[in-house]
């Protein structure tokens, strides 16, 4: 997998998680722990995207 396609996949997963978090926050059946877990996964993906972009600049 090329770096560019990997970045695109990470960005797609990031957007998917963002939508999932939004749905979970309005759903009364979603617990705070599950929302926190989704947010941690989203942050991890964001960090990975940032790291890869920095690597491509050097």
Which residue, 7, 1, 5, is CA-closest to 54? Answer: 7
State how far Cα 53 lies from the chain centre.
15
Number of domains the chain contains = 1
Number of neighbours of residue 12 by Cβ within 10 angstroms: 11
pTM, to two decimals: 0.87
pLDDT tens for each residue of 24-47: 999 888 889 999 999 999 999 999
CB-CB contact of 10 with 45 (8 Å):
yes
Length of the chain: 58
Looking at residue 21, what is its pLDDT? 95
Looking at residue 28, what is its pLDDT? 82
Structural domain span for residue 13: 3-57
């Amino acid at each position: 997998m090329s770096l560019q396609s990997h970045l695109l996949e990470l960005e797609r997963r990031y957007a998917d998680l963002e939508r999932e978090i939004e749905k979970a926050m309005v759903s009364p059946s979603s617990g705070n722990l599950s929302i926190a877990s989704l947010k941690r996964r989203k942050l991890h993906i964001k960090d990975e995207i940032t790291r890869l972009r920095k690597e491509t600049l050097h």
